């Protein structure tokens, strides 16, 4: 019961209080008897939320209270996907948790609902989009948007890929090369796969963490590296990173060439993340500065050779790593983000002499092609020299977008 109780308490904080899943899990999981199973339960329920909502609608009439909904989702997920816990123990434990959290009068309801669910075969929707929404556990509005953008078959393909669990690391290029890093891992008999960005996919362990703590490597996604590489920074240039926190792209660009970088963000705690990152990696010519990318800054006009706009976005391309994204995502929020993204890009164009890289970790054209297309239509002095939408492939590639713009 302890593991189910721990998972329930984490999920309660996420669903009811809006806690971030990774932070809440890290804060609580040390008390679990089996940390791996608690982690799997929490992320599993979040990843399958849409599917579990569908199941819930089929086994209940009037929707229960939020606490009971979370209990039932945890129970349905465990009964469906976890074989290591006896089925009777799942139901008994969740009934006990129901009483513990003051829902004693609903113990019978939880008990009968979970037993009925376990004994039933719930039919999937007949509509193709609705069926894919339930099977892939993706909100229906998003499935429909993807089908319109990519077609049904391509949408089903990338929504059905397995979650990729390996970490992506790269060497600190001021301290070692990729070949030297590979030699270190070979000596420790640590397996790795090289990525197209020049990093390595690995299973995290104590040795990898020690290399990170020493500043010999850093954890950085393949897509983050590719965004920084698209800048093609040159010695002697002045670079602006408009939405820089936690600082990985700024630091990587400082390793690729002898450049002066201004790394900006709008929150002090996020600026401190950049400073901490610089201190760990060492030797970077980076100025950390408060700046709101969506507000025009006259002091920046014409000051920079190149600007990176890795803008705030819906994050729909990285749901495999952030399982709670779908809980609050909506098309309306994407439209609001699009306004912010466009403002940031327009301001960047007034600060920049040569090149802008616009990037997101999302998969909707409303935040990607539409932003860049509108910008070059309204700003004739800029042209798109390259743009590409990447989709999750289950092999380490997230969903992300990169567009390279240059002054015509």
pLDDT at 20: 83
Residue ending a domain, among 140, 159, 178, is 159
pLDDT in tens, 379-395: 999 999 999 999 999 99
d(C-alpha 327, C-alpha 318), whole Å: 14
What's the number of domains the chain is made of?
A: 3
Asked if the model's pLDDT at residue 83 lies above 70, the reply is yes
- Asked if the structure places residue 310 within a domain, the reply is yes
Alpha carbon dihedral 13, 19, 22, 28, in 10-degree steps, equals -40
pLDDT in tens, 257-303: 999 999 999 999 999 999 999 999 987 799 999 999 999 999 999 99
Residue 142, domain extent: 128-159
Together in a domain, 44 and 10: yes
User: What are the start-end ranges of the H helices in 282-401?
Assistant: 325-328, 331-351, 369-378
Tokens 């495999």 sit on residue: 320
Residue 141 token pair: 């509005």
Together in a domain, 83 and 154: no
Bond preceding residue 78 cis, omega within 30 of 0: no
- Asked if the structure places residue 168 within a domain, the reply is no
Mean pLDDT of 85-111: 87
- Asked if the structure places residue 358 within a domain, the reply is yes
- Asked if the structure places residue 209 within a domain, the reply is no
Q: Using alpha carbons, select from 395, 388, 293 the residue that is nearest to residue 346.
A: 293
Together in a domain, 111 and 135: no
Together in a domain, 390 and 266: yes
d(C-alpha 90, C-alpha 99), whole Å: 15
- In the structure, what pLDDT confidence band is assigned to residue 313 with cuts at 50, 70 and 90? very high
d(C-alpha 111, C-alpha 105), whole Å: 11
Helix, strand, coil percent content, the chain, rounded in steps of 5: 55, 15, 30
Together in a domain, 234 and 363: yes
pLDDT at 247: 96
Asked if the model's pLDDT at residue 1 lies above 70, the reply is no
Asked if the model's pLDDT at residue 33 lies above 70, the reply is no
Together in a domain, 96 and 154: no
As a whole-number percent, the residues of the chain with pLDDT over 70 amount to 99
pLDDT at 150: 97
| Helix (H) / strand (E) containing 76 | helix 66-81
User: What are the start-end ranges of the H helices in 188-287?
Assistant: 206-213, 222-230, 248-256, 268-281
pLDDT in tens, 181-191: 999 999 999 99
pLDDT at 19: 84
d(C-alpha 212, C-alpha 281), whole Å: 9
Together in a domain, 108 and 138: no
CB atoms within 10 A of CB 61: 6
Asked if the model's pLDDT at residue 34 lies above 90, the reply is no
On whether the pTM is more than 0.85, the answer is yes
Together in a domain, 233 and 358: yes
Together in a domain, 251 and 394: yes
Together in a domain, 49 and 136: no
Together in a domain, 146 and 233: no
């Amino acid at each position: 019961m302890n593991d189910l109780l721990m998972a329930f308490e984490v999920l309660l904080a996420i669903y009811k209080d809006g806690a971030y899943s990774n932070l809440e899990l890290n804060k609580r999981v040390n008390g679990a008897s089996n940390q791996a199973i608690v982690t799997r339960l929490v992320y599993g329920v979040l990843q399958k939320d849409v599917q579990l909502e569908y199941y819930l609608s089929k086994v209940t009439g009037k929707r229960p209270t939020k606490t009971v909904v979370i209990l039932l989702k945890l129970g349905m997920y465990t009964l469906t996907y976890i074989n290591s816990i006896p089925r009777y123990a799942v139901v008994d434990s969740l009934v006990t948790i129901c009483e513990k959290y003051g829902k004693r009068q609903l113990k019978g309801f939880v008990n009968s609902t979970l037993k009925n669910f376990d004994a039933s075969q719930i039919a999937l929707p007949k509509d193709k989009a609705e069926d894919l929404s339930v099977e892939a556990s993706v909100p229906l509005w998003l499935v429909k948007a993807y089908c319109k953008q990519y077609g049904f078959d391509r949408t089903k393909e990338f929504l059905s890929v397995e979650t990729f669990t390996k970490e992506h690391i790269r060497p600190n290029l001021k301290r070692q090369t990729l070949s030297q890093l590979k030699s270190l891992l070979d000596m420790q008999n640590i397996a790795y796969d090289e990525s197209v960005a020049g990093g390595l996919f690995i299973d995290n362990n104590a040795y990898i963490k020690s290399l990170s703590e020493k500043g010999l490597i850093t954890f950085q996604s393949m897509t983050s590296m590719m965004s920084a590489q698209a800048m093609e920074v040159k010695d002697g240039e002045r670079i602006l990173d408009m939405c820089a926190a936690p600082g990985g792209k700024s630091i990587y660009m400082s390793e690729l060439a002898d450049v002066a970088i201004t790394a900006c963000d709008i929150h002090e705690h996020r600026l401190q993340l950049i400073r901490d990152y610089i201190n760990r990696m060492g030797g970077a010519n980076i100025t950390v500065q408060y700046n709101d990318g969506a507000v025009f800054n006259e002091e920046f006009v014409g000051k920079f050779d190149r600007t990176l706009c890795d803008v705030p976005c819906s994050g729909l391309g990285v749901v495999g790593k952030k399982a709670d994204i779908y809980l609050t995502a909506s098309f309306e929020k994407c439209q609001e983000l699009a306004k912010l993204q466009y403002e940031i890009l327009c301001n960047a164009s007034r600060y920049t002499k040569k090149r802008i890289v616009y990037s997101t970790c999302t998969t909707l054209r409303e935040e990607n092609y539409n932003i860049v297309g509108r910008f070059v239509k309204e700003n004739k002095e800029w042209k798109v020299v390259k743009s590409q939408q990447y989709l999750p492939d289950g092999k380490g590639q997230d969903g992300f977008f990169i567009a390279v713009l240059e002054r015509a």
